[in-house]
Amino acid sequence: MRDPRVAITFTAFGSCLVLAGLSAAADLTNGAAPAAKPVTFAKDVAPILQARCQECHRAGSMAPMSLVTYEETRPWAKAIRQRVIARQMPPWHIDPTVGVQKFKNDMSLTDEQIKTIVQWVDSGAPMGDPKDLPAPRKWAGENEWQAAAELGPPDLVIKSEPYTMEAHHQDVWWRPTSDIPLTEPRWVRAVEMRPGSLSGRRITHHAVAYLMQDDAESATPGGGDPELNRRGLLMEWAIGKSYDLYHPNTGKLLVPGAQISWDIHIHAVGEAIRDHVELGVWLYPKGQEPKYRTYLTALQAIKQRYMDIPPNSIVESQNFTVLKQAAMLENFQPHMHLRGKAMAVEAILPDGTSQMVSYVGKFNFNWMTNYIYADDAAPVFPKGTMVRVTAWYDNTRGNPNNPDPDQWVGFGDRTVDEMGHAWMNVTYMSDDDYKAWAATHKNQLANADDRPIRINR
C-alpha cells in the first residue's frame, strides 16, 4: 500500500508538505539549547492558555477539560505537548507555509508559543512564582450577541427547533428547518450564530445554517454544483467563532419564502441537555443595496458526483471551475466527510501562471473550520481564471475517523459516504473593478504564492 504522505507530494516544493510540517515540529522540539531562564506556568504558559485555549477549555464550555488553573492543567501537560506540536490544537488545520497567510479569525499558535509550551513540559511543567500569574481572563457571563457591541441588536433572530441530547448517546446531526420571516427582499450585512443557552454550548459541537430559497438571480455566476449551490451556506458556527460581517458594500440577498436548513452536530456530555441554535441577522437599511453580492459557492473537487474509493485505499479527486467574471475569494471551508484527509485550492490564471490559494493538510471531520481571509489578503482573480480543487481521502486504518476501512465508499449525503468541495464566498466584480483592484494591490500580487505546483499522483 502506498504511504499516504507520499500521495500528497507537491513535487515542485522539493519536499512533501506533510513531511515539511513534521520536520518543522522537530525543529521546535530539538535544537535550541536549554533556555537560560526556566519556562514556568505562571509567567509563560498561562498567558498562552488564556489567549488561545480557554475559550473552549474552561468550566461550562465545549472542551472535555478546563485549562485555567495550574492544578487543572498539570495532568494534561503531555497531551498538550503532543496536540500543539501536531498542530491539532487549537483546531486550526490550514498549512501555515503555503498560500494565503493572513486570516480574520486565526486562532493558531505561533512557532514561538509552541516552543514555549514544549520547553515547559520538557522541563517538568513547573508552576513558577504564583505572583507572575496573569489576572484571570473575564468571560462574558451571558450568552450575548457579540456583534451587538458594534451593530446593535440583530434585526432578525431565527431559532431552530429544540433538541434533547440524552446523558449518554451517540453523536447526533440534528437537521430541522425554520422559516425566515420576510415580506420583501432584504440585503444581509452580518450574521451571528449561537446555541440558545450556555449549557447548550457544552453539547453543540458545531452548527451550520444553510440558506434555502428560490432565487433565479442567485444562480451562481461562477458555476459549481447547482444542487449544492441552491443550498447556499449562510453561516457556520463552532465555539471560538463569533460573527461574519461582510466587506463594506457587500452582502447576501434574502428573498421572501427563504428558509434555514440547520445541520447541528450535537454530542452527549453525561447529563441530559435540551437546547436549540439561533441565528442573528443584521440587515442593510431598507432600500440600500450593496454594490457587490457575495455567493457562497461549493467549488467541487469531484466530477459529476462520481466517487470510487475502494477499501483500504488513498484516493485523490480533482475538478476545475472557471470564473466567468473577475472575483474575490473571501474564505475557505473545506468540506469532506469521515475519509477526508486533505484539500488544496489553486488558481490557474489566464496568463498560464498558477497560485496556491490554500491547503489544509490535516482535515479532521470533527472540525469544520472556516478560514476567513484578512481584508488585505483575500485573493482577487481576473475573469477566466480556473479554480482547481483537489481532495484526498484516506480509507485506511491509518485514519482515526474511519468507521470501517473495509467498506467501499461512494458519493452521498451520509457521513459514511463522501463529498468534496471548498465552500467559498465568491464576490464577483467587473473587469474595471478588477483593474482598479490590481492597480492598488501591487504588493499583494507580488507576494502571491506563485510557486508552480504540480500534484503528484
CB of 82 to ligand HEC, least distance (A): 7
Cell of 378: 483575500
CB of 239 to ligand HEC, least distance (A): 5
> Based on CB atoms, which residue is closest to ligand HEC, 54 or 390?
54
> Based on CB atoms, which residue is closest to ligand HEC, 31 or 64?
64
> Based on CB atoms, which residue is closest to ligand HEC, 52 or 421?
52
CB of 107 to ligand HEC, least distance (A): 6
Residue type, 369: T
268 neighbors 169 (Cβ within 8 angstroms): yes
| Distance in angstroms (rounded) separating the CA atoms of residues 109 and 30 | 18
Residue numbers of the site for ligand HEC (CB under 6 A)? 52-53, 55-57, 62-64, 76, 79-80, 83-84, 89-91, 107, 109, 239-240, 366
CB of 281 to ligand HEC, least distance (A): 24
Element (H, E) at 324: none
List phi, psi (to 5°) of 402: -75, 115
> Based on CB atoms, which residue is closest to ligand HEC, 240 or 452?
240
**HSE (CB half, 13 Å, CA atoms) of 323?**
29
CB of 393 to ligand HEC, least distance (A): 20
CB of 63 to ligand HEC, least distance (A): 4
> Based on CB atoms, which residue is closest to ligand HEC, 84 or 296?
84
Q: Residue 74 carries which DSSP code?
A: G
| Distance in angstroms (rounded) separating the CA atoms of residues 351 and 437 | 18
156 neighbors 283 (Cβ within 8 angstroms): yes
Q: How many CB atoms lie within 10 A of CB 386?
A: 15
Say which residues have a Cβ less than 8 Å from residue 222's Cβ, sequence separation at least 6: 295, 297, 299, 321, 323, 324, 325, 327, 426, 428
Q: How many CB atoms lie within 10 A of CB 236?
A: 23
> Based on CB atoms, which residue is closest to ligand HEC, 73 or 300?
73
> Based on CB atoms, which residue is closest to ligand HEC, 64 or 270?
64
347 neighbors 387 (Cβ within 8 angstroms): yes
CB of 73 to ligand HEC, least distance (A): 8
